[in-house]
Structure 1
């Protein structure tokens, strides 16, 4: 075979393989996106809805560029963080767990209403309150991440002030590689946000909550703080929670070895049947993701024994969609004492932490619930 034919054959093979995995990823992620996704128009300020709602205030910190209309944000990358204060009306429902789960699967976050928004600066953030920084995952638009953060705050009855860190994800199922680059691009900005919060010199507690690829961004930010000698900023972080982290196991070990002990062990929320992470693993050379391991796996036992991480296996919880990638939402419902929480084996112990920061709730749940421990 000539060199040219060989190169063409290799190119065809690589292209076919990449297409196969892209289609697989699109199918898996598409399982949870049965209806249309919320567009930029959902960020336009509107009158309060006629149906019952809870008003949630979310601070947004983003390194996305504004769209030409000035209403929304794109996947283009900005050289600086921009801040806004949003007031979002989150629908209040009194449905059964099955009805609520069905609605999540068939009706996306389009029912959320923006009742107010205001451009602010970092100095306008009330740093005296406890803070939850929510870092979204792959394939999220700005508005989707905003409504997801509002939902987390509402469903979890969180005591912290939510800050959404929205990095410039493509918001597309075929944008996985681009999103990894975008998350890397955003790392410095997340570090800057943490540094600025440290400078405020308040006694408020900071929880970092990263989902999926956002968990990778969180851990990379911590690693950057460590290797740059900013121990004081690391110690300012009270708790780190990684939900379905899309991180190669070996890479995660190296990251936590570099970071070292934090104020509390990182909490990893995993599911052994996470379909999205199965596809991510295959795209990454069949390397297992930390978010799909259970606590009994030998590869994480050393980290657990060293009090570096705690693994919470959520596989027994119902999933809000067929990807099994967003079970942390069900855990948040359980923490808040919802009917979904009472219907699981996590019930009683999880419900005793209401009103505490989410990281502390999880710590107390781990202390009281042996089935969560290795």
Structure 2
């Protein structure tokens, strides 16, 4: 049996390694100081930011990682450089200040708001769909990290929503895991109240909540509280997207049961090579983390099917994220999928991630393609496990297999 000292040493070594990998050395501080510098062909994303963080006295930081006494609301305008000057899925952080808007993300406006002014902002920024997207960031995020990342997701996904960010007190350090986890508990009532206000707004048609990592715990807890308090989750909250959820699978199962049957539609992004969740799993008693499970094996396959949860397995997808923890935001294919399908509550099938082209290629192949049909889903960069479309997909594969078999039989006969 491993000694406590041995475990502690290996844990510290693992955390240190992650700190090196996830470090943001070289970033200037104070990136949220607004600049008047402009550049041609840039895009401006206005984000309504609600936070339970304590205000910071450092210019351009706005809010620290400590816990505030009340919810603070701010509108922040972020300028994003032209697509020709950036890689989709990446945040181009300033190398120095003032930032170069032609090549880097730049803050162009910061406007503190009251709740009443925020309601007015929402009415002005609702798009034709009248949808709202709420983003809840994960562990080890500073205020500016969350703002710029969400602005990138909104821009790259080209989604038709009013963007609202909820940022909770994270110290932005891999050594503050327990502090961050308690900060999510500290913030769940504030998130619940904000979601209820959005759902009660007459001009809003529906709300999608997207949470990353530890933010998934906060999100599901807030929805659970709402369901217990109000008898159900507000009907306008129709979709919940959990990306790399840092959630104990047993706890998630209990949360779903307590939310009840009248719950939003859940979509999960998982990746078995998520290094951050591997560490979280070890810290949390070696219980599987929801964002790292294999949805194709039992008991998860049956449990997801029973709950009607769609799972997108990103394990085979490669991005520049060395921890494999932020694939949902860094992959152009995934952010487009979020904007085009998931936020609108539409079904996602294999054709939306390139499988349609693969199936077509097999269908017109030769005898050498026989037997390859079963491996199509495995070889795809994004594997989809959707209980509502699995039957259709299986029928398509069966028909494809029959078509290939008939083609081969005819060819052999000739």
Q: Counterpart of 1:199?
A: 200
1:250-297 CA distance string (max 9 Å, x none): 111111111123454310100011011001101111111010012113
- 1:358 equivalent to 2:347? Answer no
1:117 is the counterpart of 2:110: yes
Report the 3-state secondary structure (helix = DSSP H, G, I; strand = E; otherwise coil) of the residue aligned with 1:185.
helix
1:83 touches 1:119 (CA, 8 Å); kept in 2?
Answer: yes
Aligned with 2:48 (options 50, 59, 84): 59
Is residue 35–residue 108 contact of structure 1 (8 Å, CA) maintained in 2? no
8 Å CA contact retained: 2:208, 2:239: yes
Cα distance in 2, alignment partners of residues 29 and 159 from structure 1: 36
Greater alpha carbon shift after TM alignment, 131-140 vs 14-23 = 14-23
> Aligned partners of 1:322, 1:270: CA distance in 2, in Å?
16
Contact 1:245/1:289, CA 8 A, preserved across alignment: yes
CA separation of 1:313/1:51 partners in 2, compared to 1, >3 Å: closer, same or farther?
A: same
Instruction: Give the drift of 1:26.
Output: 3.5
Contact 1:234 1:262 (8 Å CA) reproduced: no
Deviations along 1:230-264, one digit per CA (max 9) or x if unpaired, are 42x43220100000000111111111111123454
Shift in Å, 1:204: 1.8
Partner of 2:10: 20
Q: Is the 8 A contact 1:271 1:324 kept in 2?
A: yes
Moved more, 297-306 or 110-119: 297-306
Residue 132 of structure 1 corresponds to 133
Distance 1:366 1:267, change over 3 A: farther
CA distance in 2, matches of 1:294, 1:35: 34
Instruction: Report which structure shows greater RCO (CA 8 Å, sep ≥6).
Output: 1
Classify 1:302/1:255 alpha carbon distance in 2 versus 1 (closer, same or farther; 3 Å): farther
RMSD, matched Cα: 2.7
Q: Could you state the TM-score of these two structures normalised by the residue count of structure 2?
A: 0.74
Q: Is 1:187–1:220's contact at 8 Å kept on the other side of the alignment?
A: yes
1:185 aligns to 2:154 (yes or no): no
Residue equivalent to 1:260? 260
Looking at structure 2, the residues matched to 336 and 65 of structure 1 have their Cα atoms a distance apart, in angstroms, of 31
Cα separation, 2, equivalents of 1:53 and 1:267: 32
Contact kept, 8 Å, 1:317 with 1:330, in 2: the verdict is no
User: CA deviation digits over 1:149-175, x for unaligned, max 9?
Assistant: 101111111111111100000111100
Mapped partners of 1:84, 1:175: distance in 2: 26
- CA offsets 1:306-364 (integer angstroms, 9 cap, x no match): 23422110112122311000010144x21566xxxxxxxxxxxx59x73x662535x33
Quote the residue 1:311 is aligned against. 311
Moved more, 65-74 or 113-122: 65-74
Q: CA deviation at 1:95?
A: 6.4
Equivalent residue number for residue 168 of structure 1? 169
**1:95 and 1:14, CA in 2 relative to 1: closer, same or farther beyond 3 A?**
same
Paired position in structure 1 for 2:248: 248
2:218 is matched with which residue?
217
8 Å CA contact 1:55–1:87 kept in 2: the answer is yes
How many residues of Structure 1 are paired with residues of Structure 2 in the alignment?
A: 339
2:34 to 45, 61, 66: 45
Aligned to 2:384: 372
SS for the counterpart of 1:119 is: strand
Q: Look up the match of 2:333.
A: 334
Q: Is 1:208 aligned to 2:209, yes or no?
A: yes
Whether contact under 8 Å (1:36, 1:108) holds in the other structure is no
Q: Over alpha carbons, which structure has the higher Rg? A: 2
Distance 1:288 1:243, change over 3 A: same
- Per the normalisation by structure 1, the TM-score is 0.82
Distance 1:168 1:34, change over 3 A: closer
Give the Å deviation of 1:189: 0.6
SS at 1:43's partner residue?
Answer: coil
Contact 1:22 1:174 in 2 (8 A): no
Question: How far is 1:365 from its partner?
Answer: 4.1
Q: Which runs of 5+ in 2 are unaligned?
A: 96-103, 356-376, 378-382, 387-414
Distance 1:335 1:213, change over 3 A: closer
Dislocated runs of 4+, deviation >6 Å: none
Q: Secondary structure at the match of 1:88?
A: strand
**1:275 aligned onto 2:275:** yes
CA distance in 2: counterparts of 1:282 and 1:213, whole angstroms: 15
Check the 8 A contact 2:71/2:190 in 1, yes or no.
yes
Selected match of 2:65 from 72, 75, 95: 75
Rounded Cα–Cα distance in structure 2 between residues aligned with 1:195 and 1:366: 34
